[in-house]
Amino acid sequence: MPQRPPLTPLVESLPETVPFVGPETQERLRGRPFRARLGANENGFGPSPGVVEAMRAAAPEMWKYGDPESHDLRQALAARLGVASSNIVVGEGIDGLLGLVVRQYAGPGTPVVTSLGAYPTFNYHVAGFGARLVTVPYEGDRESLEGLAEAARRERARLVYLSNPDNPMGTWWSGEEIARFIDALPETTMLVLDEAYCETAPAGALPPLEPERPNVLRMRTFSKVYGLAGLRCGYCIGPAEAIRAFDKVRNHFGMTRMTQAAALAALEDEAHLRKVVELVDACRRRLAAIAERHGLAALPSATNFVTIDCGRDGAFALRVLKALDARDVFVRKPMAPRLDRCIRVSVGPQDEVDVFESALAPALEEAGAA
Convert the pLDDT of each residue in 184-215 to its tens digit: 999 999 999 999 999 999 999 999 999 999 99
| Chain center to CA of 346 | 12
pLDDT in tens, 286-324: 999 999 999 999 999 999 999 999 999 999 999 999 999
Q: Residues 6 or more apart from 177 whose CB is under 8 A from it? A: 145
Q: What is the pLDDT of residue 89?
A: 98
| Chain center to CA of 67 | 25
Span 49-268 CATH architecture: 3-Layer(aba) Sandwich (3.40)
Which string of DSSP letters, residue by residue, matches 237-281? E--HHHHHHGGGTS-TT-S-HHHHHHHHHHHH-HHHHHHHHHHHH
Give 349's DSSP letter: -
pLDDT (mean) for 120-131? 97
Q: What is the pLDDT of residue 2?
A: 83
Looking at the chain, which runs of residues are DSSP E strands?
Answer: 36-37, 88-91, 111-115, 132-136, 159-163, 190-194, 216-221, 234-237, 297-298, 305-309, 329-330, 342-346
Q: What is the pLDDT of residue 69?
A: 98
Looking at domain 20-46+271-369, its CATH superfamily turns out to be Aspartate Aminotransferase, domain 1 (3.90.1150.10)
One fold for 20-46+271-369 and 49-268: no
Q: Regarding predicted confidence, which is higher, 135 or 3?
A: 135
**Whether the predicted pLDDT of 275 surpasses 90:** yes
**Whether the predicted pLDDT of 19 surpasses 90:** no
81: buried, middle or exposed (CB in 10 Å: 19+, 13-18, 0-12)? middle
List % helix, strand, coil for the chain (3-state, nearest 5): 45, 15, 40
pLDDT in tens, 161-180: 999 999 999 999 999 999 99
Asked whether 222 and 234 are in contact (CB, 8 A), the reply is yes
- Percent pLDDT > 90 in the chain is 98
Phi, psi for residue 353 in degrees, rounded to 5:
-65, -35
Task: Band the pLDDT of 370: cuts 50, 70, 90.
Answer: confident
Q: What is the pLDDT of residue 18?
A: 83
Q: What is the 3-state secondary structure (H, E, C) of 103-129?
A: HHHCCCCCEEEEECCCCHHHHHHHHHC
**Whether the predicted pLDDT of 246 surpasses 80:** yes
- Compute the Cα dihedral for 345, 346, 350, 351 and give only its sign: negative
**Whether the predicted pLDDT of 20 surpasses 90:** no
Looking at 26-117, which runs of residues are DSSP E strands?
Answer: 36-37, 88-91, 111-115
**Residue 315 amino acid letter:** A
Task: Band the pLDDT of 17: cuts 50, 70, 90.
Answer: confident
- What gap in Å lies between CA 321 and CA 329, rounded to an integer? 9
- What gap in Å lies between CA 74 and CA 79, rounded to an integer? 9
- Residue 111, preceding bond cis, omega within 30 degrees? no
* Domain locations in the chain as residue ranges: 20-46+271-369, 49-268
**Whether the predicted pLDDT of 1 surpasses 90:** no
Task: Band the pLDDT of 45: cuts 50, 70, 90.
Answer: very high
Q: What is the pLDDT of residue 122?
A: 98
222: buried, middle or exposed (CB in 10 Å: 19+, 13-18, 0-12)? buried
